[in-house]
Structure 1
Amino acid sequence: MVMLLQEELRSSNADTTRISILVELGKYQLYKAGEARADLDSSQQFLQAAAKLSDSLGQLSWKHEIKSLEMVLTMERGDSAGGRKIYNQLIEECRRTNDKATEAATLFRMGIWERVRFGSYVKVLHAFARSMQLYRELHDTLNEIKMQKEIAWMHLTEGKNQLAEDMLLDILERYKAVGYKKLHYTYNLLSVASRVKGDNDKALLYAIATVETMQATQDTLSAASFYGDLAKIYEDIGNHKESIRYFQRSLDTWKQEGLPNFAMFFAASKVVREMISQGKPKEALDLINNLVVQVPPITLIQHAIIAQTRAHCYDALQQYPLAEKYFLTALGKFQEANMDFEGSQQLQQHIGRFYLARGDFQRAGTFLRKALSYYPQKNAVASLMDIHFMLYKVDSAQNDFRSALNHLRINKELSDSIFNENKSKQISELEVKYQTVQQEKNIQELNNQSSLQAAQLRQAEMKQQVTLGGIAVLVIMSGLLYYLYIMKNRHNHELEVQQTKIESKNTSLQQLLGEKEWLLKELHHRVKNNLHMVMSLLESQSAFQHNEDAVQAITQSRDRVYAMSLIHQKLYQTDNVSTVDVAEYLRELVAHLKDSFDNCSKIRFDLQTERIEIDISQAVPLGLILNEAITNCIKYAFPAARKDNVILIRMAYAADGQVQLLVADNGIGLPADFNSKRRGSLGMRLMQGLTDDLNGIFTVSSENGTTVTVAFARSEMTDMPAASTDLNAMSLTA
């Protein structure tokens, strides 16, 4: 179930279905047998995840349900005060929001906790009664009956057996009225109530009905427990063979589950005592020791019943000191658990029998009277009868004949109440009916097996005929497959010849493509060298010029030529000979311009550009625009005494998919009478013309400095990698 829930959790969406799965996983870890911290931690993780999701979805009812489970988790960790605090707050919140369903569930959970940990009958009954009332108001009939059954169980625990039986009979009728099929849990409680009262005929009737209803509904969750209760009844009526058979069946079922449980170790103790009666005490001791290794006990009462079972083994092995040690150890464990039930009473009874057999009448009488001091209505009549008979022996040995006769009289009365003629007849009839039904089932199973075998024989004959036909078909198909194999080999040979030709042509094409790329790179290299030669000529020319305007004009031309040569340099230095990485290009262009002007030491360049690949047809005009815009910023934006000078260069994709270039400074801005279209503004006309080459839009503005913006559509490129949109924010500071 857990693996299925975890698989559903992985594929679930963040909705109420996921909350439900998380809560179910939290419940599984919370109610798992034992009190392992790791299980409680896992439960807390699932519940916290469920709480977080329910808060985000505004699911108030789920929030309350999760808080109710957190209450139980807190108390399981040993923090009873913290658990009660959560309980009080949650009950108040449920009443404020009229969440009756969660209030009822929380009352039930607190009642269970009170019953198990503190045995506070008044508080438990009050919680269960209030929960039942809430379910009645919600018209939740099944949960209302469930709470009524819990109240009946509490009365049974108190020893109010007749009241419990009357309630259970009413519950049974209510379940039948609503068509509820799983009646075996109610039959089981009726069986327990009847057994404690000494009505063994009813107890056996209800116990048999329990097993039959369980098998009919295929709800075997509590099968081991049901088998154990039926075994106890057979033990009380003296049917030793059936008692041991069902105790063994109970033990085997518990072992399959692999979880520690008092009922499992109790069934094992019965099987052990049967082995002892057969003269196999050593094998019996091995059985209980091996069981403890396979399924280690985790609670005090489990350790107690194991110690009690070992005591019986050592008693049979005549190792009396060890037997006495384990009997007293078991007694200490039961007392430490502070649980008043039939198992702890029977231990006093067994210790009394042990001392009686050793002739220690004083101690025997002490323990037997302690066993008798338990509330009689909570113990089976058969156990009380046995205790009175042993006390008769003890008092007789101590010459207290009046007390001895009184115990013998009570023993006889109890015996008559159990084994009168009518009851014995009824029990025998029940056993005969049950055995008859079982035999009819066995006969039906044998008939089914016979029919199955006949069907299997017919199926075998059919398989034989089909096999022979299949062999014939296989021979025919083998011939066809061989023919197809020959044809396939011939076809594959032809394909191989064609593949060889294709590979040869592909190799030639790859060589041609490589040569083409090499030639392109060589072309770009030579263009770059020629442009550098032009730059050198311009630098040489400027050296012989004495006119400042001429020198400046030559320098500007040299920078423009460098902007173009840098593009060709990038093209032959990379594997892609068709596009230029703008981010890398811009970084080197800015570095060159910084070296070209003296005032750049006081200017910080802030480069913010995405990784964009530009076709060579667009790269050259774009490079010239960048060169022109940045040069203008360096030359005119910042007076000599100015500080905190920044030039921002940003290139990124706009919302409409176009590439947007922005060059801005925080300098003095453009003159008030500046006109970018007048004939004397060569730089502006150059940038405008280059923008037209890009089929773009050129704008210039002056607000807190000068801003030049160019927006254009990037050319679609084939045989080139698509541009990445990862932001490559770069900053160069002079």
Structure 2
Amino acid sequence: MVYKIVLILALLFPLKSVCQQTDDDEIHVLLKNLHYGEDNEEKAHNLLKAVKYYLNKENSTKADIDSAALLNSEAMHISRELDLKNSIAQSMLFDSEITITKGDTVKGNELKNKALSFTKKHNLNKEAGSIYASLGYFAANTGDPNKIKHFINAASSYKQAGDFHNEAEMYCELSILFNSMDKPATSIKYALQAIEIKKKLKDSNLYQEYTILGMDYRVQGNYEDALSYALKAEKTMDNMEINGLWVSLLYDLLGTIYSELNFYDKSVEYYKKAIAVSKESNDTEGVTAITINTARSLYHRGKITEALEVLDSGFKFYHSTDCDVEYPSLYILIYCKLKQYNKAKPYYEQLIKCSNKVSERAHIEQEKMYYAIISYLTQTGQADKTYTYINKLKELAKVHNDLFNLSQLERAHFESDSATGNYLGAIEHLKNQKKLDDSLFNINSTKQFADLQLKYETEKKDKNIKLLTQQSQLQQTKLEHEMVIRYIFIASLAISFIILGLLYSRYCIKRKSNAVLEAKQEEINRKNKKLQNLVEEKEWLLKEIHHRVKNNLQIVISLLNTQSAYLENEDALLAIQNSQHRMHAMSLIHQKLYQTDNLSSINISWYIQELASYLKDSFDDENKIRFELNTQSVELDVAQAVPLGLILNEAISNAIKYAFPQQKGIISITFKETQENTFLLQITDNGIGLPEGFEPTELDSLGMNLMTGLAEQLDGTFNITTNNGVTITITFIKRVADV
């Protein structure tokens, strides 16, 4: 689900002078010195600096504004006497801002326009830029549509005055403004203009522009550029030690990008950082928005209970209105996933009322609202009502070529068609989703991350090259010094020709040896580089294979799910369901392998936790089973991890389905090393146990045969016992790869 960061203009466009603030210590010295000396240009300049201080002061009081007015009046008097036109224009601007601060906006704007006329009359371009900027900030806060024109005029005036820094700042403000108006293309244009100017000025303060570009490219579905600029913004902020709103926005943006690329662990990591920064800044609206994003990311990862806990914990920061869609939409998705439709229904009814005002809402809110409505209708047997909302969402997604949402909508269309019996249409939409997923994740993930990694590794290599150059220069100096000593030594022993000949002979032999060694070293380096390239290509191919295998298993699972809709025989449905779980057990392994740098082995502790969580969500609707896991962190290769995962799938599935027909229970899973390279896997339940006289060897069961066969594949032993429940024990020896 897409989340759009909307900047709050009241925070980003303060009604202040565009000039920099003066710190407290400096202003105290300045005010003290103003009482001495004659009236001159320097005194007028210092008076205006003091006025800026009081106007820009945080939590300014009435006394501060009165002080600003008094100092500005004195500055105006001196400036008129000395005919300092630049200072007169600044003083006129400050007079207008003081008037507005006191509450008289009409008169204040009249004074501002009067100041603007004065600057035009005397060709004071820099001061005109300041006045246009002030008009733009005021218009942005009041909703005046002329705000864009004012900022463009400000940029033009600064450019004519040669004040390129402030010209770039105006382009940055325009970029922020168009981003908030949901016009990413125009926003990108102005952000790039600002960056171009600042780079010419060698100004590295680009984190705002990089953050806005990241947001704009994400909206357009260009995840490669979005992530690239977001990472640049993070690097810039780290170097400048920036805190507050922009850091929170950037972390939220990175969390959103990683979430939409299905890197949910990375997504949650950044969302939690964003929440911490927002809480530090007392930004309750930011905490609310990012809490929703965190819960949404956990929801997509399948951690539904944790998502509900996060959402409930952030509710105290939430200030609801009649037609807010953030919390209701996510509550619907979570409660539908938990099959608690009665809890989802009030939120659904609330959104239906709000949908009547859809034309008044930003398209991001429309997306959230429609997705939640579709989910509720599909899962409550009303799939025929979803098509209207799906078509509306497709229109919104096509505006910015949003591949992520188009993929999700094809999935929604598939589910609706399946529920309404349109199976041919369902298969077609499933194919479309697969194409979009390949486009989104194979291009925007594999290539994108490789390119980004290459880029930042190149930067590191450039630094290393610079360091090596410095070392080379030091080495050269050292060699030159040694050469001088050698010449002195040779000169002092000029009469000893025999010794000199021997020394020269040794030198020649050594030089030849070095040349041979250097040639051999170059050959070794060339071969090492070739081998490194082959290893990197192999790793990339292995990742791609695991990715494809995982995708193909998911397609087979979906096809089995579709096939089950055609079947009414319970045994056949059960067989399909069992096959789906077995395929998911294998899919988890391939998913983990292509998402990590370790392409040959998988952490069994992580795998057991993920598989147990998945099977509990699949079977345990009444939440009556609790898992107790005692597992060691052990890496197994794929050849042993796959049969071990299938054994776990069969044992846990059987325990959930048959061990607790009427009561609650506990399933304990133990995985540990009993001795060197010998491991024990034990699955125990405290359920009703096996029937009396049960003999595993005499039972014609696919699951039992599968577990015994897989245990043999592990070169291990399989044992099943019953005593106040059932205990399945597998012992096997870990295979050690040949070095």
Calculate the TM-score normalised by the size of structure 1: 0.47
Calculate the TM-score normalised by the size of structure 2: 0.47
Is the radius of gyration larger for structure 1 or structure 2?
Answer: 1
